[in-house]
Structure 1
Amino acid sequence: MTAPQEPMLIWERPEPPSRPAPSPLSRERIVRAAIDLADRDGLDAVSLRKVAAALDAGPMRLYGYLSTKEELLDLMVDEVYGEIVPSGPAGDDWRAALRDLARRTRQATLRHEWFADLLGGRPQLGPNALAYLEAALASLGDTPLSAVVQVVSTVNAYVLGAVRREVTELRAERATGMDEHAWHVAKGPYLVRMLATGRYPAVARFVHGADAEPDFDEGLERVLDGVAPLVSGGR
């Protein structure tokens, strides 16, 4: 008895043959249209129906190129990873390589804020996402595998948390019409009254004594300093 074949993922399935039509389609055009919608109006604006309308095509035509909205989201994420992966080899400086990937991830996320909502969770398996992972892992050379996992996971966790916070702040600013200064002006008097009660001494020390919060690069350097002892040779 022949064993059933495993289903091919979207990355492996060929596109249907091209055919004359008023609106020619391809996975590339579909993904580009979906990204444009998400960039403009957020992920909630992305549906197969809306993408088809943007391409002046019937929704059923899209099902020749992908089967579900989840597959479309996977393709969108991988397209953004294609913007992150550097075009050349990383070289021998592991810090420079991971720093470059982190900065490129942040820049891509600020161009495509919805990307932050789809990061994390199960690993992405598209070719560009795998190329990103390959670049991160290869940068660590002959470092033991257990340490490689810790280094890459720690740096990725920092980047994910930092960019999600930044995107959240940008969204809040747009939703409320308040930038950070206006927010502090509006909320400051309340905070002063609460700290004057004496119930929050640690918070008061932080508010009155802390400098400005470290920016993305400063935080990243602290993380790289922290994982450096795990890297073979400290390259």
Structure 2
Amino acid sequence: MTVWDRPEPPTRPVPLDRDRIVAAAIALADEGGLEAVSVRKVAARLNAGPMRLYGYISTKEELFDLMVDEVQAEILPEEQPGDWREALRTLAHRTRHAALRHEWLADLLGGRPTLGPNGLAVAESTLAALDGLADIDTVMRAVETVSAYYNGAIRREIANLRAERATGLSKRDWQRASGPHITRMLATGRFPALSKAVHDGTEVDAETSFTTGLDWILDAVATRLARPPA
């Protein structure tokens, strides 16, 4: 039985329900990451005893599932885009924006899908956008390919943001600090391709990089969808 199927205990003197528990857990995670979330800390924020929470959740993993499903409500578009590319593009950008609001989400992206109502609604919306364009196996691989791209790109972006906070160095500061070492290494001639990228490549911001890569992935998916059935 999943956490969504299990009935909640009756109300006691301190009002408590899964919505309040999840909201408190998300607030803690927004402030200090997933490591700041524990049953004890959530209970303390709600002025309730830790044992009371186990009437609503069995494990911390269940709590994480509930948290992810709550954020999935932010990802679900209000209206279904008519074009499949726009639908997948919207999903990717809304996932990125949700992760920038809730950085802990990046740590949970790409795992097992949550079975909550919002997660299922996102999955339904995604698959519905591609319905009828190809056989279901091709549609599933297309969705997996796109999600693998944006989950990875989001995790990398969040990792960079965390590194900036941990070191106190912006990307530009880090580049200046590491510049002498990189210059010496490139001068050896052992890394010609990397040298060309460093000296001739155009630097873009995270959003531009994300959007460009996403469009390339969608172009590849469109090519596959256009192929006649084997």
Instruction: Say yes or no: does 1:11 pair with 2:1.
Output: no
Q: 8 Å contact 1:144–1:232 — kept in the other structure?
A: no
Residue type of the partner of 2:159?
T
Equivalence for 2:33: 42
1:121 to 100, 111, 123: 111
Equivalence for 2:128: 138
Equivalence for 2:210: 216
**TM-score, structure 1 as length reference:** 0.91
Mapped to 2, the partners of 1:52 and 1:100 lie a distance apart of 36
Q: Which runs of 4+ in 1 moved over 4 A?
A: none
Mapped to 1, the partners of 2:128 and 2:212 lie a distance apart of 24
Shift of 1:16: 1.4
**TM-score, structure 2 as length reference:** 0.93
Shift of 1:208: 1.4
Deviations 1:20-58 (A, max 9, x none): x1x310100000000000000111110000000000111
Deviations 1:114-151 (A, max 9, x none): 11101113222221111111111110120211210121
Unaligned runs of 5+ in 2: none
Mapped to 2, the partners of 1:90 and 1:106 lie a distance apart of 18
Per chain length, whose mean CA-contact separation is higher, i.e. which structure has more relative contact order (CA < 8 Å, sep 6+)?
1
Stretch of structure 1 that moved more, 157-166 or 201-210: 201-210
Mapped to 2, the partners of 1:128 and 1:230 lie a distance apart of 29
Shift of 1:233: 8.9
Mapped to 1, the partners of 2:121 and 2:227 lie a distance apart of 25
Residue type of the partner of 2:191?
Y
Mapped to 1, the partners of 2:198 and 2:80 lie a distance apart of 44
1:57 to 48, 56, 59: 48
- Which SS does the other structure have where 2:112 is aligned? coil
Q: 8 Å contact 2:146–2:217 — kept in the other structure?
A: yes
Residue type of the partner of 2:223?
P
Stretch of structure 1 that moved more, 55-64 or 82-91: 82-91
Q: Following superposition of structure 1 onto structure 2, how do residues 115-194 of structure 1 map, counting pairs within 5 Å?
A: 115-142=105-132, 143-194=134-185
Q: 8 Å contact 1:31–1:75 — kept in the other structure?
A: yes
Shift of 1:68: 1.1
Residue type of the partner of 2:37?
V
Report percent identity of matched pairs: 59
1:76 to 67, 73, 87: 67
Distance verdict in 2 for CA 1:232–1:15, change over 3 Å: farther
Unaligned runs of 5+ in 1: 1-7
Shift of 1:179: 0.2
Equivalence for 2:222: 228
Stretch of structure 1 that moved more, 175-184 or 78-87: 78-87
Shift of 1:232: 5.2
Mapped to 1, the partners of 2:71 and 2:110 lie a distance apart of 14
Mapped to 1, the partners of 2:183 and 2:49 lie a distance apart of 58
Deviations 1:82-131 (A, max 9, x none): 1101122332x000100000000000001111111011132222211111
RMSD between aligned residues: 1.5
Matched residue count: 224
